[in-house]
């Protein structure tokens, strides 16, 4: 009984720690530029760490920021250094998902490591108790369950990041369509392309519009064109519409009429694509509901005819 209580307590503590590790504070409104500045700082530190690893030295100022996530950042930084030394990099799709949800590569690697550890410890404890209670259970069962739990726990942060990024990417596309309409309206009022982009990005404090506004501000500070910054943001987040917008603005930036026509056409195309996606999701949900209703009907019919069938078979 004492072992079972301890196993339950350890499992509960591990689950609570996993939930706390996967949680991330939401950044909205005026807090978003601070979070983006931290992301830029972390990206610079990552580049310095990679360069220092290649040259065999240590880059200055690579220690994690003080705070609750310092140990997580330190563990993730150590894992990334080891991966960079052997030439292993995260897939581009995963990096874009992490950029879109605002999670650094180091944090993701640390969460994956902690998830694998927790996923291996919890099944190992329970399977060890089962082996002690059931004498005929193979001894290799705890090791097998621990390996499966480690794989599942290590993949859980990646699956969670992909799920959140899918929702955010769909919302970002919707915001990009509205952003194009606003830019076209500003161009119709006689503004230039940079001014129209900045004015359109300042109408809302949603996270996607704030991301666009900060991207344009960084472009102005760095001295690059706004369309190039939008293209880099599209590459970083995996939003193809921003890359297409960047290419279109680069081609017709000097002709206001062509810019307005191109943006209006792209906004209409985005709306049609979103409508088609919404209809596809609605049809998929309708099909799933139909299957659920059919299963309920079949179960109800079985419930009705089962007594009659049992009477016929027993007589």
Q: Where along the chain do its domains lie?
A: 2-165, 169-272
Name the token pair of 165: 């990024």
Name the token pair of 230: 């939008």
Q: How many CB atoms lie within 10 A of CB 142?
A: 19
How would you write the pLDDT of the chain (315 residues) with one tens digit per residue? Answer: 445 545 555 666 666 566 555 554 444 444 444 455 555 555 555 555 555 444 444 333 333 333 445 666 777 788 888 887 888 888 888 888 888 888 888 888 888 888 888 888 888 787 767 766 776 667 677 778 888 888 988 899 999 999 999 888 888 888 888 888 888 888 877 777 788 888 888 888 888 888 888 888 888 888 888 888 888 888 888 888 888 888 777 776 655 556 677 777 777 777 777 777 777 777 777 877 888 888 888 888 888 888 888 888 876
Question: 234 near 242, Cβ under 8 Å?
Answer: yes
Report helix, strand or coil for 189: coil
User: Please, where are the H alpha helices in 189-239?
Assistant: 193-201, 207-222, 226-237
What is the maximum alpha-carbon separation in the chain? Answer: 91
Name the token pair of 306: 């089962």
DSSP for 230-291, written as a single string: HHHHHHHHT-HHHHHHHHHHHHHTT-HHHHHHHHHHHHHHHHHHHHHHHHHHHHHHHHHHHH
Q: Which of 16, 29, 168, 28 is CA-nearest to residue 98?
A: 168
Q: How many CB atoms lie within 10 A of CB 107?
A: 21
Using CA atoms, how far residue 262 sits from 18, 42, 201, 236, in Å, is 47, 36, 18, 24
Place of tokens 């706004």: 226
Q: Which of 229, 233, 227, 218 is CA-nearest to residue 246?
A: 227
Question: 145 near 120, Cβ under 8 Å?
Answer: no
pTM beyond 0.95: no
In angstroms, rounded to a whole number, what is the distance separating the alpha carbons of residues 49 and 95?
A: 17
Cα 158 vs. chain centroid, distance in angstroms? Answer: 8
């Amino acid at each position: 009984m004492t072992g079972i209580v301890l196993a339950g307590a350890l499992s509960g503590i591990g689950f609570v720690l996993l939930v706390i590790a996967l949680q991330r504070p939401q950044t909205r409104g005026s807090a978003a530029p601070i979070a983006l500045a931290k992301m830029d700082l972390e990206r610079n530190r990552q580049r310095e760490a990679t360069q220092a690893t290649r040259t065999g030295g240590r880059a200055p100022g690579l220690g994690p920021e003080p705070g609750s996530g310092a140990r997580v950042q330190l563990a993730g930084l150590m894992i990334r250094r080891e991966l960079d030394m052997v030439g292993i990099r995260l897939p581009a799709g995963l990096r874009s998902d992490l950029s879109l949800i605002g999670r650094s590569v180091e944090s993701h690697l640390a969460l994956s490591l902690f998830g694998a550890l927790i996923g291996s410890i919890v099944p190992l404890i329970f399977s060890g108790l089962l082996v002690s209670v059931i004498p005929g259970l193979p001894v290799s069962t705890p090791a097998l369950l621990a390996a499966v739990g480690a794989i599942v726990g290590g993949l859980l942060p990646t699956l969670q990041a992909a799920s959140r990024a899918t929702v955010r990417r769909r919302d970002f596309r919707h915001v990009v369509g509205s952003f194009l309409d606003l830019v076209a309206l500003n161009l119709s009022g006689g503004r230039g392309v940079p001014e129209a982009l900045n004015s359109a990005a300042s109408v809302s404090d949603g996270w996607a519009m704030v991301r666009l506004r900060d991207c344009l501000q960084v472009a102005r500070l760095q001295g690059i064109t706004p369309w190039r910054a939008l293209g880099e943001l599209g590459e970083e987040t995996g939003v193809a519409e921003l890359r297409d917008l960047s290419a279109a603005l680069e081609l017709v930036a000097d002709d206001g009429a062509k810019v307005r026509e191109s943006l209006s056409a792209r906004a209409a195309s985005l709306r049609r694509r979103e409508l088609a996606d919404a209809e596809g999701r609605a049809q998929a949900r309708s099909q799933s509901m139909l299957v659920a209703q059919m299963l309920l009907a079949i179960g109800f019919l079985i419930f009705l005819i089962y007594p009659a069938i049992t009477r016929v078979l027993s007589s």
